[in-house]
Amino acid sequence: MFGFNKTLPKFCDLRGKVAIITGARQGMGKTHALKLASAGAKVVVSDISKEECQLVVDEIKKMRGEAIAVKCDISQKSDVDNLIKETLNAFKKIDILVNNAGIFPFKSFLEMSEQDFMKVININLKGYFLCSQAVAKEMVKTSGGSIVNISSIASIKGFAGLSHYCASKGGVMAMTKALALELAPMGIRINDVDPGAIETPGATGGKDKTGDEKMVASVPLKRWGKPEEISNAVLFLASDESSYMTGSVMVVDGGWVVG
């Protein structure tokens, strides 16, 4: 799907950069890892299963790229600290963080337990805080970097059965804007990508095909988005081509929000 190209144009050239991608064992995270590796970045593939991350690393190495696999539950500070340690041991620095890991279990609000709510918040919001803070402390030492948060159009519009998810993604958007102000003087940019309906195993693997059809019918472009279409936005925001952007929200949803 991807291959490293030594004649990449400037906006695709991440050679010499080190990137961490969380939630990278499958779906959009895997695609982000492959995309950044194809642009020349050294990639840290991180998720809760090191074995599955290693499969992605193997794909990157077939592309003649450099990558390592690191097991990390981003809701646990000790895991995040280890992620930073292993990254620095392997590559000495961190230039790019893609906060991608997340969960979206459907649950009726009236049936939702505190544990249901907090599990989503701990991964989707607290995890982004832990990773961003840990990486930013390292980016300060090298005079900057780029953090890309994968949020969702659920930060903009509501979805029944996903009140915890909407809350977490709304928090990600607000945190992105606040951190953009705080980190700009240190040369660190932070931006937000809001995907819509993207064709990943987690989104399309359910049994409610009628619901899927109704959802796609609500999208003006009348189709699922492809993971690569989100990765293109991630690559742009990770690269120096977006050097005058911070605190921005890039909506990639086929027009769903405005439809």
Hey, what are 37's tokens?
Answer: 């590796």
Q: Are 121 and 168 in contact (CB under 8 A)?
A: yes
Q: What separation in angstroms does the CA of 226 have from each of 28, 40, 133, 202, 253?
A: 9, 22, 30, 13, 10
CB 225 within 8 A of CB 252: yes
Q: Confirm whether 165 is a catalytic residue.
A: yes
Out of 104, 165, 224, 256, which one is annotated catalytic?
165
Closest CA to 52 of 74, 29, 36: 29
By the 8 A CB rule, do 176 and 235 touch?
no
Distance, CA of 127 to CA of 73 (rounded, Å): 8
What are the residues facing 22 on neighbouring strands? 46
Task: Return the structure tokens found at 133.
Answer: 């803070």
Structure tokens belonging to residue 48: 């809760």
In the block, residue with structure tokens 């995270």:
29
- Rounded CA separation 76/227 (Å): 27
Say if residues 253 and 219 touch (Cβ distance below 8 Å).
yes
User: For residues 190 and 149, what is the distance between their CA atoms, to the nearest angstrom?
Assistant: 7
Task: Provide the residue type at 192 as one letter.
Answer: D
d(CA 241, CA 146): 11
Q: Which residues are catalytic?
A: 165
